[in-house]
A and B are shown apart, each in its own frame.
Chain A
Amino acid sequence: MRRLRLPAALLSVVAFVAGCADDAELDTLKPEGEYSEQIDNLIDPIFIVAFLVFFLILGLTLFMWAKYRVTEYEEGDWPEQVHGKTSWEIGWTFIPFAIMAAIGAFTWILLSDLNATEANALPIQTAEGEVMWDPHVVVVGQQWWWEYRYYFDADKLEELDDANGNPAKDLPPADIVTAGQLVMPIGEEVELTITSRDVIHSHWIPALNGKRDAVPGRFSPWKIQANDPGLYFGQCTEFCGLSHSRMRMQAVALTPEDFQEWVTAQLADAETPPGAEAWLEAYRAADGSEVEAPEATGAQRGLVAFTQNCASCHLVQGVNDLTYDGATQVSGAAPNLTHFASRTTLAGGILDLYNPDGTLNRNNLESWLRNPEAIKANAAPERGMPNLGLSEETIDDLVDYLETLGPRPSDEMIAATQVD
Chain B
Amino acid sequence: MVDSEVLDEQAVEAADASHSAKVGDHQPGSTGISNQKLAMWAFLGSECLLFGGLISGYLLYRNNNQDGPAAAEIFDIPFTSVSSFVLLMSSLTMVLALSAITRGDHPRTRLWILTTALLGAVFIGGQVYEFTSFYREGLGYTTSPFSSAFFTLTGFHGVHVSMGIVMLMSLYFSSVRGKLKTENAETVEIVGLYWHFVDVVWIFIFTVVYLMAKGI
CB A2 to nearest CB in B, in angstroms, measures 52
Residues of B contacting A164 in the complex (Cβ-Cβ under 8 angstroms): 64, 66
A165 to B64, CA, bound (A): 10
Please, which residues of chain B bring their CB within 8 A of the CB of A165?
Answer: 66
Give Cα distance in the complex from A164 to B145, angstroms.
11
The main secondary structure of chain A at its interface with chain B is loop
Residue of B nearest to A163 (CB): B64
Q: Shortest beta-carbon distance, B134 to chain A, in Å?
A: 21
Whole-angstrom distance between the Cβ of B97 and the nearest chain A Cβ: 49
CA distance A323 to B51 in the complex (A): 51
Q: Which chain A residues lie closer than 8 Å to B64 at the CB level?
A: 164
The digit string for B58-86, where 1 denotes a CB below 8 A from any CB of A, is 00000010100000000000000000000
Q: Which residue of A has the minimal Cβ distance to B64?
A: A164
User: Whose C-beta in chain A lies nearest to the C-beta of B144?
Assistant: A164
Nearest residue (CB) in B for A165 is B66
Q: Which residues of chain A are near B66, meaning CB under 8 Å?
A: 164-165
Q: How far is the CA of A165 from the CA of B66 in the complex (A)?
A: 8
Bound-state CA distance A326–B64 (Å) is 27
A144-170: which have CB < 8 Å to B? 164-165
Measured CB to CB, the closest approach of chain B to A216, in angstroms, equals 14
What's the nearest-Cβ distance from chain A to residue B3, in Å? 28
Complex Cα gap A164–B64 (Å)? 7
CA distance A329 to B66 in the complex (A): 23
Chain A residue nearest to B67 in the complex (CB): A164
List CB contacts (< 8 Å) of B40-70 with chain A: 64, 66
What's the least CB distance linking A382 to chain B, in Å? 20
The CA-CA distance from A164 to B66 in the complex, in Å, is 7
Which residue on A lies nearest to B65, using beta carbons? A164
CA distance A70 to B12 in the complex (A): 54
A158–B169 alpha-carbon span in the complex (Å): 61
- Tell me the bound Cα distance from A396 to B64 in angstroms: 50
User: Nearest-CB distance from B62 to chain A (Å)?
Assistant: 14
CB A229 to nearest CB in B, in angstroms, measures 45
**Contact mask B95-108 → A, CB, 8 Å, 1/0?**
00000000000000
Write the nearest CB–CB distance from A166 to chain B, whole angstroms.
12
Shortest Cβ distance from A176 into chain B, in angstroms?
A: 33
Nearest-Cβ distance from residue B163 to partner chain A, whole angstroms: 36
Interface flags, B5-37, vs A, CB<8A=1, else 0 = 000000000000000000000000000000000
Name the CB-closest residue of A to B145: A164
Q: How far is the CB of A215 from chain B (nearest CB, A)?
A: 15
Q: What's the nearest-Cβ distance from chain A to residue B14, in Å? A: 43
Give the Cβ gap from A417 to chain B, nearest Cβ, in Å: 44
| Chain B 129-177 residues near chain A, CB threshold 8 A | none
User: How near does chain B come to A165, taking the closest CB pair, in angstroms?
Assistant: 8
> In the complex, how many angstroms separate the beta carbon of A385 from the nearest chain B beta carbon?
31
Q: State the CA gap A74–B86 with chains docked (Å).
A: 75
What is the CB-to-nearest-CB distance from A167 to chain B, in angstroms, rounded to a whole number?
Answer: 14
A165 to B67, CA, bound (A): 11
Once bound together, how far apart are the Cα atoms of A347 and B66, in whole Å? 35
User: Shortest beta-carbon distance, B185 to chain A, in Å?
Assistant: 46
- Closest-CB distance, A47 to chain B (whole angstroms): 38
A164 to B70, CA, bound (A): 14
Least CB distance from A164 to B in Å reads 7
Rounded to whole Å, the gap between the CB of B60 and the closest CB of chain A is 12
Min CB distance, B12 to chain A, in Å? 41
| Chain A residue at minimal CB-CB distance from B66 | A164
Rounded to whole Å, the gap between the CB of A161 and the closest CB of chain B is 14
* 3 examples of A-B residue contacts, CB within 8 angstroms: A164-B64, A164-B66, A165-B66
B residues lining the A interface (CB < 8 Å): 64, 66
Closest 3 CB pairs of A and B: A164-B66, A164-B64, A165-B66
